[in-house]
């Protein structure tokens, strides 16, 4: 049975500025980060909405920009990767906002190695700027993983913070998130002056929701769970339908 939320978002318009999470929002979450499936229908939808909105569409994700490029191909989209730490602007230039010292990153990896051996259900994803410990295959270890990553972040000796998500805890440099990424895009054309829309499904998307709410925009949470988002869509299919209606309205 399809879930229908009372606080469904208003009809979408191509003159809005769109900020879209990927996993759990545009594509279904997979058991392994590398196992996600990006279908051609999604690529066509994103490309058409990008053109129809005159380029006012950005992907705002926890994945790296390189990872997204490898999955989506040569779409010339602005992309914010790794929770705002990477930022590709409308001209295709990529900026690194913050990075951990190499020795700090390696010390955390070294501390995690014996734990990964002891608990083979855990998966360490080594991104360029962050370290993500997944426990989807070992949900009984959730509390342990959260405590462990908090301790490792606090012992780093630099400004690190923990970012929580669905069955994952990530250690990242502090001060940047999906909200700061949205704010940076909205400061310049073609996003500037438009009604901002942020769509996401996870805890790390709450920063984006909060920033869009501050700008009197449209914040949309995908699926259940407590959120500061003002609107809801049930699932990935509902997100795609909602975005597609903006294209039909502008045809």
Give the number of residues written for the chain.
251
Around 71, how many Cα atoms within 13 Å sit in the side-chain half-sphere?
Answer: 20
Spatial CB neighbours of 153, under 8 Å, sequence gap ≥ 6: 160, 161, 162, 171
Residue 88 buriedness (CB in 10 A; 0-12 / 13-18 / 19+) = buried
Identify whether the C-beta of residue 207 lies closer than 8 Å to the C-beta of residue 200: no
For residue 43, count other CB atoms closer than 10 A to its CB. 14
For residue 81, give every residue at least 6 positions away whose Cβ sits within 8 Å of its Cβ, in sequence order, or none. Answer: 61, 62, 63, 64, 65, 66, 67, 68, 87, 88
**167 φ/ψ sector (left φ>0, alpha ψ -120 to 50, else beta):** left
Structure token digits, residue 122: 């855990």
Cβ contact 223:246 at 8 Å: no
Q: Point out the catalytic residue in the list 15, 21, 23, 31.
A: 21
Annotated catalytic residue 21: yes
Q: Active-site residue numbers?
A: 21
């Amino acid at each position: 049975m399809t879930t229908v939320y009372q606080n469904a978002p208003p009809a979408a318009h191509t003159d809005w500025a769109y900020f879209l999470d990927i996993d759990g929002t545009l594509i279904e979450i997979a058991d392994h980060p590398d196992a996600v499936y990006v279908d051609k229908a999604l690529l066509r939808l994103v490309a058409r909405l990008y053109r129809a909105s005159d380029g006012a569409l950005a992907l705002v994700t926890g994945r790296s920009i390189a990872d997204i490029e490898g999955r989506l191909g040569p779409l010339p989209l602005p992309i914010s990767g790794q929770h705002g730490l990477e930022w590709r602007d409308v001209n295709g230039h990529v900026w690194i906002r913050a990075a951990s010292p190499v020795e700090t990153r390696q010390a955390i990896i070294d501390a995690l190695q014996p734990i990964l051996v002891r608990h083979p259900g855990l998966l360490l994803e080594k991104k360029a700027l962050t370290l993500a410990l997944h426990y989807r295959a070992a949900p009984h270890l959730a509390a342990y993983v959260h405590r462990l990553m908090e301790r490792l972040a606090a012992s780093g000796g630099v400004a690190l913070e923990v970012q929580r998500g669905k069955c994952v805890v990530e250690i990242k440099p502090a001060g940047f998130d999906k909200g700061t990424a949205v704010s940076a895009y909205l400061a310049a054309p073609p996003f500037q002056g438009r009604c901002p829309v942020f769509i996401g499904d996870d805890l790390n998307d709450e920063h984006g929701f909060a920033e869009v709410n501050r700008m009197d925009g449209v914040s949309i949470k995908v699926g259940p769970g407590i959120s500061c988002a003002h609107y809801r869509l049930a699932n990935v299919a509902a997100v795609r339908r909602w975005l597609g209606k903006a294209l039909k309205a502008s045809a």
